[in-house]
C-alpha cells in the first residue's frame, strides 16, 4: 500500500472531469492536480510548446513524490506522451487509449466521430488508436477550437455554446456515426448541449471512467494502491488561483479546497 499521491494535470479546468472520476473510483488515494491556467488552451499550440509545458508540469509533480502521473489533457496526450514517458521516472498515463478502447466497445455500426482541439485532430491520435483496435472502423474528426474557451469562461450553458455546437456538429451528424468521442477533457462539461443536438441514437464517450479504471488496475498490479484512509486533494494553478477555484466550483459538485499558485519555469 502506498500513500504517495497520483499527479494529474491539464491545460486548465477540463482535467477536473478526470479528477472527479479518479476520486469516485479511488477514494483512498491522495491526488495532486495541476491546471496550467497561464497557458490554456493547448489545442492551438505547437507540439514543441505543448511538450515543453507538459514536461515542466510533470517534473514539478515528480518533485512532489507522486507515484503516477495522469495526463488529463487530450492535446498533451496526443503530442507529448512519448516524450513524457522517456523523461519521467514514474508511469505516465494518457487519456486517448482509454477513450478509443471505450468507443470501439460501444459502437454498433463501426462509425465513430471524434471531437477535439485542432492539435489533437491534426495529430490523428484517435483514428490511429481506434483503427489499431478495429481496422474496419470508419473514423471522422471535427476540430472544435471554441469549446475550451466556452468552458473556461463558464459559458457552457449559454445560447453561444448552443450555436457553436450546432455549427461544429453538423458534419458529425452527416457522418452517420453512432458513437462520438469527446476528445478533450473540457468537452464533458458541454455534454448536455452536445447530446441534445445529436439525439438519443448517438452515444457520447469520454475517457474519464475508463481511465480511472486503468489507473486502479495499474496501481493494484504494482502493489501501490492505497486501501485505507480518506484521500487528500492538493490543487495548483499556474495563474489566478482564485478564479480557478471559483470556476471549478461552478463545474464540480464536490469542493476542491484551496488552490495554490505555482508558476512554471518554461
* Burial zone of 52 (CB within 10 Å; 0-12 exposed, 13-18 middle, 19+ buried): middle
Annotated catalytic residue 144: no
Annotated catalytic residue 73: yes
* Burial zone of 47 (CB within 10 Å; 0-12 exposed, 13-18 middle, 19+ buried): middle
Question: Does 11 appear as a known binding residue?
Answer: yes
Question: Does 10 appear as a known binding residue?
Answer: yes
Question: Does 107 appear as a known binding residue?
Answer: no
- Among residues 13, 69, 184, 193, the one annotated as catalytic is 184
Question: Does 99 appear as a known binding residue?
Answer: no
- Among residues 73, 156, 194, 226, the one annotated as catalytic is 73
| CA–CA gap between residue 16 and residue 231 (Å, rounded) | 16
Question: Does 42 appear as a known binding residue?
Answer: yes
* Burial zone of 175 (CB within 10 Å; 0-12 exposed, 13-18 middle, 19+ buried): middle
| CA–CA gap between residue 220 and residue 227 (Å, rounded) | 10
Give me the active site residues, please.
73, 184
Binding residue numbers: 10-11, 42-43, 74-75, 185-186
Binding residue numbers for substrate: 10-11, 42-43, 74-75, 185-186
Amino acid at each position: 500500500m502506498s500513500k504517495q499521491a497520483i499527479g494529474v494535470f491539464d491545460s486548465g479546468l477540463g482535467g477536473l472531469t478526470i479528477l472527479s472520476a479518479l476520486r469516485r473510483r479511488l477514494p483512498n488515494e491522495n491526488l495532486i492536480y495541476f491546471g496550467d491556467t497561464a497557458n490554456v488552451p493547448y489545442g492551438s499550440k505547437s507540439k514543441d510548446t505543448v511538450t515543453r509545458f507538459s514536461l515542466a508540469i510533470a517534473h514539478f509533480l515528480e518533485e512532489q513524490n507522486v507515484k503516477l502521473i495522469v495526463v488529463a489533457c487530450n492535446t498533451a496526450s496526443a503530442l507529448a506522451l512519448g516524450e513524457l514517458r522517456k523523461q519521467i521516472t514514474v508511469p505516465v498515463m494518457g487519456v486517448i487509449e482509454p477513450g478509443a478502447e471505450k468507443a470501439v466497445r460501444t459502437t454498433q455500426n463501426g462509425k465513430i466521430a471524434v471531437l477535439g482541439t485542432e492539435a489533437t485532430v491534426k495529430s490523428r491520435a484517435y483514428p490511429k488508436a481506434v483503427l489499431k483496435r478495429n481496422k474496419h472502423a470508419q473514423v471522422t474528426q471535427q476540430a472544435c477550437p471554441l469549446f475550451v474557451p466556452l468552458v473556461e469562461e463558464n459559458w457552457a450553458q449559454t445560447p453561444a455554446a448552443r450555436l457553436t455546437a450546432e455549427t461544429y456538429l453538423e458534419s458529425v451528424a452527416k457522418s452517420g456515426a453512432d458513437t462520438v468521442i469527446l476528445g478533450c477533457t473540457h468537452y464533458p462539461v458541454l455534454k448536455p448541449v452536445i447530446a441534445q443536438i445529436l439525439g438519443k441514437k448517438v452515444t457520447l464517450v469520454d475517457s474519464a471512467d475508463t481511465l480511472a479504471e486503468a489507473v486502479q488496475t495499474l496501481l493494484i498490479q504494482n502493489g501501490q494502491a492505497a486501501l485505507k484512509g480518506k484521500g487528500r486533494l492538493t490543487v495548483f494553478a499556474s495563474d489566478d488561483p482564485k478564479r480557478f477555484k471559483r470556476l471549478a466550483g461552478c463545474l464540480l459538485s464536490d469542493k476542491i479546497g484551496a488552490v495554490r499558485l505555482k508558476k512554471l519555469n518554461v
